[in-house]
């Protein structure tokens, strides 16, 4: 019988991102390059020597924990959104969050290192992680080794189609106001909605449905008409 040894992992810290809920997070990294993230290191790993030389790499691997779904356990079979949410695949043949060890990995773009008031942080872009996600490890992306031109992508061989995104006139002032606080807000909303964050089964339903998502501390509302998304309001969430 295979002997298993216990594994102990201590997160390096957590990442702060615009995504406050699972809904509307891009299904893959770098689909939304306007999504910036900041890895904030814990006291144990708050040493800038850990990141010395990292600026030489344009992209980095982030290994993290799906902390919001870890307690729900895992399943050997899942329903990938790319297959319409109906056909099952083995969990290890997908990037589902419901994994045996709840570990995920994303390639993100390096932005900068900051060491301010004694706090070390690593800024990246193109993130697809929930705000507060524990970061287990960080590794450089090595193009000659990590990029395999002849690789095949199975049921994900082609990128998903994107949708047009428009801001309706009634939210123009709201967008201008919040853009002063979040300079990338317009681009972030456009890129997130272009990926059609709706569940796969919703995409097959009639249009003119209304949806909402949380980015930063904002509630973004939009409607779907045909193959386009129309942003109708951008308001701040009411305080708890």
The pLDDT tens digits of the residues spanning 184-218 come to: 999 999 999 999 988 776 766 656 788 999 999 99
Q: What proportion of the chain, given as a percentage, has pLDDT over 90?
A: 67
Q: Are 81 and 160 in contact (CB under 8 A)?
A: no
Q: Which of 12-21, 32-41, 85-94, 172-181 has the lowest mean pLDDT?
A: 85-94
Stretch 23-36: mean pLDDT: 93
pLDDT of 240: 65
Stretch 138-150: mean pLDDT: 95
pLDDT of 183: 94
Cα–Cα dist 17/67, whole Å: 15
Cα–Cα dist 176/96, whole Å: 36
* Per-residue CA distances from 136 to 64, 72, 131, 146, 209 (Å): 5, 20, 15, 20, 39
When pLDDT is cut at 50, 70 and 90, the band that residue 2 belongs to is confident
Burial zone of 46 (CB within 10 Å; 0-12 exposed, 13-18 middle, 19+ buried): middle
Secondary structure of residue 4 in the 3-state scheme: coil
**Angle at which helices 172-179 and 185-194 pack, to 10 degrees?**
120
Stretch 41-58: mean pLDDT: 97
pLDDT of 86: 75
Length of the chain, please? 240
Stretch 129-146: mean pLDDT: 97
233-237's contacts with Cβ under 8 Å and 24+ in sequence apart are 233/170, 233/171, 233/174, 234/171, 234/174, 234/175, 234/178, 234/185, 234/189, 235/174, 236/178
Of 33, 34, 39, the residue nearest 54 (C-alpha): 39
Stretch 42-58: mean pLDDT: 97
Inform me whether the pLDDT recorded for 63 exceeds 90: yes
Q: Which of 27-31, 154-158, 174-178 has the lowest mean pLDDT?
A: 154-158
């Amino acid at each position: 019988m295979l002997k298993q040894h216990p594994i102990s992992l201590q997160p390096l810290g957590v990442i702060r991102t615009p995504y406050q809920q699972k809904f509307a997070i891009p299904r893959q990294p770098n689909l939304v390059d306007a999504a910036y993230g900041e890895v904030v290191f814990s006291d144990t790993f708050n040493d800038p020597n850990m990141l010395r030389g990292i600026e030489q790499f344009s992209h980095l691997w982030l290994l993290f924990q799906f902390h919001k779904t870890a307690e729900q356990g895992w399943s050997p079979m899942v329903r990938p959104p790319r297959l319409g949410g109906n056909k099952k695949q083995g969990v290890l043949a997908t990037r589902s969050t419901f994994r045996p060890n709840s570990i995920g990995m994303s390639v993100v773009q390096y932005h900068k290192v900051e060491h301010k008031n004694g706090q070390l942080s690593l800024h990246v872009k193109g993130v697809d992680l929930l705000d507060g996600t524990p970061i287990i490890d960080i590794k450089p992306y090595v193009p000659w080794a990590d990029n395999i031109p002849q690789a095949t992508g199975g049921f994900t061989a082609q990128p998903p189609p994107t949708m047009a995104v428009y801001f309706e006139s009634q939210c123009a002032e709201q967008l201008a106001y919040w853009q002063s606080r979040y300079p990338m807000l317009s681009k972030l909303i456009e890129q997130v909605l272009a990926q059609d964050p709706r569940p796969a089964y919703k995409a097959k339903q009639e249009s003119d449905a209304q949806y909402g998502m949380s980015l930063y501390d904002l509630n973004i509302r939009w409607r779907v008409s045909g193959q386009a998304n129309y942003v109708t309001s951008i308001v701040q969430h009411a305080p708890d």
